[in-house]
Structure 1
Amino acid sequence: MSGVEPVRLVLVGAGVMGRAWLAAILAEPGAELAAVVDLDAAAARRAVEEGGVPGVPVGTDAVELAQATGAHAVVDVTVPAAHHPVTTAALFAGLPVLGEKPAADTLARTLSLVAASEATGVLFAVSQSRRYHPHLFAFREQARALGTAGALTTEFFRAPRFGGFRDEMAHPLLLDMAIHPFDTARFLLGAEPVSVYCEEFNPPWSWYAGDAGAAAVFEMSGGTRYSYTGSWCSPGLETSWNGSWRLSAERGSATWDGENPPVLGLADGAAVTVAAAQDPGREIAGALREFLHALRGGPAPMGEVHANVLSLAMVEAAVESAATGARVRIDDALERAHAEALREEDRPEVAEVLRSWTSVRPALAAAGGAVLR
């Protein structure tokens, strides 16, 4: 696409998050809202009317409406179970997709989407929106300056009452929220997960059907340990939505409260130079901006699906560990998901790509550096 032409986007999903994305699209100078899609066409109509753009077309089929309106790409803000069919249909229609996390509701279906992106040559990026925070980028520069990391910890304690599907999920904290700090840990450390031991629990006062609390310890590449403790039914003294962080490294430590500038503490006699951090924009607005830049020929977004898979693998392996009481190797979880993806796949082109992977992690690394159209 040209550098001046607005990117025409079809927004799929008119719920609470869909409306947040609608506002972000309308506020982004490089984007134009082409249409809004929802299985409930009346909900889509209410969203555009309440968003102040009543003339925007609405419908129930994303590909059909994209073709009718001349849209260039899709923003998928459906429930996780719908991510796979919506994204697959868009990719095979030649439409790049920016999707809400998680990439799909299972790791196996996420690998299917990776293969669909490769088979079509069309970009699929996942909005890990909490990476887009200037203070997080500053925290990462501090982490780099402190040298070899020994331990990274996150505490996350909130008490949201969402209602809806989250209240009925089997693993609401791990499946719907923990992917953010898990992904952030990869980003901060520049390291990948090796294994995890996790326990889940649900306090007696919890309003969630599934376990709303969890504690997990990940071994990361290079030997660093990443520890996560969280609860989604913890009223009082709540942490930031980004959690509260502490890094212990060879030249000192750094902390971040999730909102304000990070704090650096050096070991006695240590001297470090911390590079200036870039401003990636804030949350979904930052993710949208980076996606649009990629469509205009820029580098692949941070959340390009090959690069995003291991964040969801951390979640799925943590759930497995909590269920079995055993330490789970991330590569084992990847290989089991790969086998499941092959069993489930009904598109020959996607199955062919999946069969070409002799091992999942190397396949992700080999293809992930490519900039897809």
Structure 2
Amino acid sequence: MSTGLLLGKFAPLHRGHQLLIETALAENERVLLLIYPASEVTQVPLPVRSGWIRALYPQVEVIEAWDGPCQVSDAPEIMRLHEVYILSRLAGCRIDRFYSSEFYGDHVSRALGAEDRRIDPARVRVPISATAIRAAPFANRHFLQPLVYRDLIHRLAFIGAPSTGKSTLAEALSQRHSSCWMPEYGREYWLAHQRQRRLSPEQLVAIAEGHCRHEDRWAEQANRYLFVDTDASTTRQFALYYHGRVPPRLEQLAAQCPQRYALCFLCADDIPYADTWDRSGAANRQRMQQAIRAELERGLRPYILLSGTLEQRMARVGEALAALPGQ
């Protein structure tokens, strides 16, 4: 059985990497891929990056090199450090071909006793590098698979009771940051499916799932940030408020919110109540707001309270965005 090997940080995985992987798959019966930590160049965790490869190429055997060396250079001691580590992780597995587009293809292939398969080293077939993508993800998103690009976007959740300014704020921020925003899917669903102004618990699950699907599609078009009006934790509050129970699937989606969003903003109820036909009144807004805030604090989910005018709220969000890693 012929075996090919690739290695790298894949930070992020792009079409040049995919050319390497697909060439290796075409030329070998077995393909191994060693993926390194990359905290010095990206905030995307190693399991997320390895997950991209597993999702796109399930036939590739992915090895997460948590203890792999981070330094890369042509210094003899650094090259030897990598060679020793790679050989130790392979544990005697014979490699027939080593695939890369970098200088280290030479010395790693020799250490493995494998063929040096250098693919597109001049970046002619795929004129991009991970460094260029990290510098300008939006401009280079055509070199990325959608599931990869989505994970490079900071998703920002704006939650709160009805009529707390979430939609207005999310839309205004998207314009200021030349990006896009995700309207509340639940409102769209409610208008189409409500019966006597109510939805069933199962329909609330459909809202949370539909919101996630729509959000993923919006993330593919976003520029650095996706401003999201409402999340599954708020849908959970509606289930409690109207039915006194939360379906297990909705509990699961609500529990994922702290990991799904880079930041959570609670919009205060200090603005005039917009008493439209589809809302339940200012008193209900206050009760719902108290429940949402209590749930945030009980669940120890970090959040930033936004109050005051639209401009004051936008300024506070801007401060939080500037403090995000890598900004």
TM-score by length of 2: 0.28
Which of structures 1 and 2 has the bigger CA Rg? 2
Tell me which protein shows more strand as a share of its residues. Answer: 1
Tell me which protein shows more helix as a share of its residues. Answer: 2
TM-score by length of 1: 0.25
Which fold has the larger relative contact order, with Cα–Cα distance below 8 Å and residues 6 or more apart in sequence?
Answer: 1
